[in-house]
Amino acid sequence: MSTLRPRGGRGTVEGLPEWDRCAVMGVVNVTPDSFSDGGRWFDTTAAVKRGLDLVAEGADLVDVGGESTRPGAPRVDEREELRRVVPVVRNLVSEGVTVSVDTMRASVAEQAVAAGAVLVNDVSGGLADPAMVPTVAAAGVPFVVMHWRGFSEDMNSRALYTDVVAEVLAELRVRMDAVIAGGIAPDRLIIDPGLGFAKDTAHDLALLAHQAELRTLGRPVLIAASRKRFLGRVLAAGGPPPPARERDAATAAVSAIAAHEGAWAVRVHEVRATADAVRLARAVEGAR
């Protein structure tokens, strides 16, 4: 495992703060329909308070999104996405929070960056909107390239792999080359295997088991397992899966594993337990 990890540990991202451990990205979904927390932070005041609470609980940065990407979700209207996201970003930034914007739209990314967001997290890795890569390149902010095979409406039908780890790596490499060719600086890229996006439980687990291989792409790795279906399936042990809100202990377990394997950051809905997990992973690392 550690033999596959390049020197330099989890890596650094130009334009973002450096943490001496795996960072914790707290999630604020300003949506009525996200699979795990939809509707809970669906007005600006509640969403901003949620972001501040996540920071108080130990989040290093807060990821603000206005479009649900749960399997089967329809797309949200652009104006509505802007209305949901931009004021929340602006308010959190004014409180000193490091904010990323979770969007597939260049217009939302652009306005969020203008409002102070310092990272664009695009689950489509720039594929959904042809204006995304030039917009991020011009803004000069870091960019998350996630493995993605198509919109949520029908992504489950794309969960077909012969060797999921090799194919995800190869497809991520193609996207990295494309976004670099499009003008985004290589040292501003973060990669993400896209757990649950066109992947079933076995695929998600294989990607976690081979996380160290993602580091061979040479960029920091973001792992976003929080409350996802595969955790429900593992916990179900043959019975009905527990609801999303009862998957936080399992999420924290993944955070510990991911941090131990060299993840740059983990993206989670409930921060407290994951903040403990990444600190513990750091302590174990320090004792090597």
**Residue-by-residue DSSP string for 193-240:** --TTSS--HHHHHHHHHTHHHHGGGSS-BEE--TT-HHHHHHHHTTSP
Contact with ligand PMM (CB under 6 A) among 29, 211, 255, 274? 29
- Contact, 64 vs 102, CB < 8 A? yes
User: Taking contact as CB under 6 A, which single stretch among the options 164-172, 189-197, 206-214, 230-238 is the one that binds ligand PMM?
Assistant: 189-197
Decide: is 102 part of the binding site for ligand PMM (CB under 6 A). yes
Give the SS3 label for residue 11.
Answer: coil
> Any contact of residue 115 with ligand PMM (CB under 6 A)?
no
Concerning whether 199 is annotated as a catalytic residue, the answer is no
Interacting residue with ligand PMM among 13, 85, 89, 144 (CB under 6 A): 144
How far does CA 227 lie from the centroid of its chain?
13
Catalytic residue among 90, 175, 228, 229: 228
Region near ligand PMM per CB under 6 A, out of 86-94, 106-114, 188-196, 235-243: 188-196
By CB under 6 A, residue 30 contacts ligand PMM = no
- Output the furthest CA–CA distance in the chain (Å, rounded): 51
Minimum distance of ligand PMM from residue 205's CB (angstroms):
15
Query: Which residue lies nearer to ligand PMM by CB, 141 or 195?
Result: 195
- Closest approach of Cβ 83 to ligand PMM, in Å? 18
By CB under 6 A, tell whether 208 contacts ligand PMM: no
* Cβ within 8 Å of residue 57, ≥6 positions away: 26, 271, 272, 275
Q: Is 259 in the site for ligand PMM (CB under 6 A)?
A: no
Site string for ligand PMM, 35-64 (x = CB under 6 A): xx----------------------------
Select from 13, 16, 23, 27 the one that contacts ligand PMM (CB under 6 A).
27
Does residue 274 belong to the site contacting ligand PMM (CB under 6 A)?
Answer: no
User: Is residue 123 a contact residue for ligand PMM (CB under 6 A)?
Assistant: yes
- Residue whose tokens read 């687990």: 205
Burial 177-207 (b: 16+ CB within 10 A, else e): eebbebebbeebbbbbbbbbbbbbbebbbbb
Contact 182, 137 (CB under 8 A): yes
Examine the residue annotation and report whether 267 is marked as an active-site residue of this protein. Answer: yes
* Closest residue to ligand PMM, based on beta-carbon distance: 224
Instruction: Count CA within 13 A, CB hemisphere, residue 237.
Output: 1
Active-site entry in 90, 199, 227, 267? 267
- Per DSSP, the residues of 227-281 read T-HHHHHHHHTTSPPPPGGG-HHHHHHHHHHHHHTT-SEEEES-HHHHHHHHHHH
When binding is defined by CB under 6 A, the residue of 91, 98, 103, 121 that contacts ligand PMM is 121
Q: Is 28 in the site for ligand PMM (CB under 6 A)?
A: no
For residue 109, report the phi and psi dihedrals to the nearest 5 degrees.
Answer: -60, -45
Among 55, 113, 132, 146, which residue sits at the site for ligand PMM (rule: CB under 6 A)?
146
Tokens found for residue 63: 């990821």
Q: Among residues 77, 42, 43, 47, which one has the least CA distance to residue 62?
A: 47
Which residues form the catalytic set?
Answer: 228, 267
Would you tell me which residues interact with ligand PMM (CB under 6 A)? 27, 29, 34-36, 68-70, 102, 121, 123, 144, 146, 192, 194-195, 222, 224, 267
